Structure 1
Amino acid sequence: MAHIRKNPTSTFLLIGIFYLTSCADGGHEFDATGTFEADETVISAEASGKILSFKIDEGQQLSRNQYVGYVDTTQLSLSKAQLKAQVRAVLSRKPDISSQLAALNEQLKAAKKEKERIENLLKSDAATPKQLDDVEAQINLINGNIRGLRTSLVNNTNSLDQEIGPLEAQVLQVDDLIIKSKIINPIQGTVLSVYAEPYEQVGAGQPLYRIADLNELTLKVYISGDQFSQVKLNEKVSVFTDDGSGGYRETSGTIYWISEKAEFTPKSVQTKNERANKVYAVKVRVKNDGSYKIGMYGEVTF
């Protein structure tokens, strides 16, 4: 999936003139004026390589988790194949403990039978105690050989397992990079800008496109200190935009953020005196039926 990096809308946002006192225009008085913006997200590549497929255009609607392209994974696949071959080579050196102990276990089994035979012969004085001592010594020797060989084989197996561990971890890392080579759109929204094209070479972290959910926009306005006490979070306000016929189109919005820190009026305000005023930023969330665009001017009344 592509890497996400949040990006403010300063590139597209033109902050208008914000009236810190009520202004009259065609009989309408507004408490503040500002421009619409959106929460934008820059989607970046998570893998390095050549883009072999990239199917998006500006203005295109994308759904969450939609596949939009992929970066070449040829070298990653070759690296994975090489690592798996190394794992198989190490596994081939792992001893088969049971088969390597089989011969000694057969010797032990035969020695135990011989001990039973000698014990039976001793009961009829057909064997000597020394014969019994010899076979018991042989059994003890075989048991010691079994324990020693088993310990050696187990240690060898554990050593090879430790050798395999890092290789398997590298396989998982390559698998993760292969997954990240797929460009998966993480959020629903509209493509605002495209920064890459098919067959371009990209690096991890390189921006591919910018997207924003335009179903809901933010009208950012500034208010004076006198107005600060008049607004509160979650308050409904009236939002006005030009209707294209010299009038206004009205809708409602909700205040969801109020800055607690005063700042100077933005430099886009036309007069030096107005820019010297201290103001507070207010963000109003507005449902968008397609009529509102990023950078469009809007007015509010509280």
Structure 2
Amino acid sequence: MKPARYGKWLLIWTAVIFLAGCRDKLPEGFAGSGTLEATEVTVGSLISGTILHLTKEEGDPVKAGELIADIDVEKLVLQKAQLQASLSEIEAGRIAAQAAIDQAGDTLENAQIRHKRIKQLYAKGSATEQQFDDISTQLSLARSQLTAAKSQTPLLDAKRAQVEASMAVLDRQIKDGVIKSPLDGMVVEKYVEPGEIAIQGGALYKIADLINFWINIYVAETDLDRFNLGQDVFVRVDACPDPFAGKVAWVSPEAEFTPKNVQTRKARAELVYAVKVTLKNKDDLLKIGMPAEVYLTMEP
């Protein structure tokens, strides 16, 4: 190898070794790095129908419980009206059935009285066998009529329960046509426009809580004693010169392999413990997905 080429390769290897050594020398108080995360909720429609109104655009703030969309429920309201009419018919049938029961009961009571009287007369020979047979037949018929009248009541009650259950479903669907935000946050994505057809389960908005952030870092077992629940830490991002105050919110009780997004294969094969650090997004400077570093001291 020529001296010039040998000197060139020597410089390259020296630089590689130097850079590798720099990577191993982490800043004082450094605890770990990761990406910022926040709660993101995809708000969808629980029913199918035409979108009448969308009250928010991307970037708009929103409060929990605030109206963000209306779905057309006119057909559902008409279906409910039809079921209400069916309930009225069933109630009318229930009244008629009760009247039939009352009438059949009166008929049976009269038949029982007459049967008792004819039976006594027949025993004394004052009534013919034909008279006794006739009143016995009438008594049996009256009993059958009462049984038949009473049998209508459970059928009507079952039909009423079925209609009421269907109405409850419609009431729920009509209520679901009014869509409200499940959390305080900001609209980060809007997927549809008024006039489009919302499908059941289809996404309308993505809303994110951009105040409460967290970052998960992964530490070796030998470093676990550096972390306690509620401990104050500091989070730094490249876009901000000053650190953000954070707190240790959770330390995993179970070891796991380093996540796949860690750069080196060797590091991914190591067992580590997840540590969750929470922080507030002061001055709206933090963004979801930002790389961040966690420190145990103010100054890195």
Q: Which amino acid counterpart does residue 300 of structure 1 have in structure 2?
A: V
- SS of 2:57's partner is coil
Q: CA deviation at 1:104?
A: 7.4
Contact (CA 8 Å) 1:265, 1:274: kept in 2 or not?
no
The verdict on how the C-alpha distance between 1:217 and 1:162 changes in structure 2, with shifts beyond 3 A counting, is same
Q: What is the aligned-residue RMSD (CA, Å)?
A: 4.0
Contact (CA 8 Å) 1:264, 1:279: kept in 2 or not?
no
1:139-288 equivalence runs, <5 A: 144-223=140-219, 225=220, 228-234=223-229, 236-241=231-236, 247-258=241-252, 260-263=255-258, 266=261, 269=263, 278=270, 280=272, 281-288=274-281
Separation in 2, partners of 1:276, 1:131: 106
What 5-or-longer segments of structure 2 have no aligned partner? 1-21
Q: CA deviation at 1:107?
A: 9.4
The verdict on how the C-alpha distance between 1:254 and 1:89 changes in structure 2, with shifts beyond 3 A counting, is same
Separation in 2, partners of 1:211, 1:299: 26
Q: CA deviation at 1:106?
A: 7.4
The verdict on how the C-alpha distance between 1:274 and 1:29 changes in structure 2, with shifts beyond 3 A counting, is farther
Count matched residues.
Answer: 266
Matched, 1:301 2:291: no
Q: CA deviation at 1:283?
A: 2.3
Q: CA deviation at 1:162?
A: 2.8
Contact (CA 8 Å) 1:51, 1:70: kept in 2 or not?
yes
Q: Deviations over 1:219-245 (max 9, x none)?
A: 23344x376434445152421435968
Q: Deviations over 1:206-259 (max 9, x none)?
A: 111112222321023344x376434445152421435968x4335232242447
Structure 1 partner of 2:86: 86
Q: Deviations over 1:44-74 (max 9, x none)?
A: 1100011111211223332222222221112
Contact (CA 8 Å) 1:101, 1:149: kept in 2 or not?
no
Of residues 278, 289, 295, the one that matches 2:282 is: 289
Q: Which amino acid counterpart does residue 285 of structure 1 have in structure 2?
A: T
Q: Which amino acid counterpart does residue 190 of structure 1 have in structure 2?
A: M
Q: TM-score, normalised by structure 1?
A: 0.69
The verdict on how the C-alpha distance between 1:83 and 1:103 changes in structure 2, with shifts beyond 3 A counting, is closer
- SS of 1:167's partner is helix
Contact (CA 8 Å) 2:104, 2:145: kept in 1 or not?
no
The verdict on how the C-alpha distance between 1:80 and 1:38 changes in structure 2, with shifts beyond 3 A counting, is same
1:51-66 equivalence runs, <5 A: 51-66=51-66
1:18-33 equivalence runs, <5 A: 21-24=24-27, 30-33=30-33
Contact (CA 8 Å) 1:20, 1:32: kept in 2 or not?
no
Q: CA deviation at 1:192?
A: 1.9
Contact (CA 8 Å) 2:111, 2:138: kept in 1 or not?
no
Q: Which amino acid counterpart does residue 185 of structure 1 have in structure 2?
A: S
1:117-136 equivalence runs, <5 A: 130=126
Q: CA deviation at 1:178?
A: 1.3
Q: CA deviation at 1:90?
A: 4.2
Q: CA deviation at 1:131?
A: 6.6
Contact (CA 8 Å) 2:108, 2:139: kept in 1 or not?
no
Q: CA deviation at 1:169?
A: 2.1
Of Structure 1 and Structure 2, the greater helix share is in: 2
- SS of 1:204's partner is coil
Contact (CA 8 Å) 1:111, 1:138: kept in 2 or not?
no
Separation in 1, partners of 2:52, 2:289: 34
